[in-house]
Amino acid sequence: MIANAPTRVVSVLLNNRNKFLPILGFPLTSENARQLDISVHNKELQKYANHEEYTSTLDFKNFIWLGGYGEERNIYSQASLFSQDARCIHLGVDIAQPANTPIYAPLNGRIHSFKNNDKPFDYGPTIILEHVLANVHFYTLYGHLSLISLKDLSIGQSIEAGQLVGYIGEKAENGGWNPHLHFQIISDMDNMQGDYPGVASKEEALAMLHKCPDPQLILGFPEKPIIY
């Protein structure tokens, strides 16, 4: 039986997982990174009025906080963008870093599309790269970037591994979120351009998580990926 596209993507990423370059320019390890949990299951988060108050208590001086793949979150209820169709399952990984932090391509690719998704609590400036690895096509999405990241881009433009993709955006330009990168792997863009769902409803979650494999496969942190 021929494997479907998401399964082929997971397989090729597993086979090449030690070859990807670090997205922040340096490796993410248990020494410098910690898992960020803003799910409905985090009892510590429930002690605070909102997730921003909670994250302000984390040690950002000594650690990089990232996580969120497959998490059920209630933070999207504030935005009609998500609440209209009850989307609450996160499909990518959030990497919390200061605005203007540079983001680098972990592997060779080309610019598939880009767009400023400027609705409240949307991605803001977004770049999507297309990759071909061992004859398998897939995509990586970089959301909540700075507006300057979209300057002078062109569809089809080659991006080499380790090349600058863009910069994390300020809250005023990144969709209204505290500065962070939303990083997502996508097996099929479904003819979309410059945008792709980063949050799914519970009903669609398993199918969407299958189509959007765990970014850990590229990031290398935490130790093991979640595979749907």
Q: Is there a domain that residue 18 lies in?
A: yes
Q: Is there a domain that residue 214 lies in?
A: yes
Q: Is there a domain that residue 22 lies in?
A: yes
Could you tell me which residues come within 8 angstroms of residue 52 by beta carbon, excluding any fewer than 6 positions away? 178
Q: Is there a domain that residue 96 lies in?
A: yes
Q: Is there a domain that residue 187 lies in?
A: yes
Q: Is there a domain that residue 1 lies in?
A: no
Give the range of the structural domain holding residue 119, as residue numbers without chain letter.
Answer: 8-219
Give per-residue pLDDT as tens, 184-220: 999 999 999 999 999 999 999 999 999 999 999 999 9
Give the CATH number of the domain where residue 43 resides: 2.70.70.10
Q: Is there a domain that residue 58 lies in?
A: yes
3-state DSSP call for residue 177?
Answer: coil
Give per-residue pLDDT as tens, 147-191: 999 999 999 999 999 999 999 999 999 999 999 999 999 999 999
- Answer whether 187's CB lies under 8 Å from 129's CB: no
Asked whether residue 64 carries a pLDDT value surpassing 70, the answer given is yes
Domain count, the chain: 1
Give per-residue pLDDT as tens, 121-146: 899 999 999 999 999 999 999 999 99
- Answer whether 118's CB lies under 8 Å from 164's CB: no
Global confidence as pTM: 0.94
- Answer whether 218's CB lies under 8 Å from 140's CB: yes
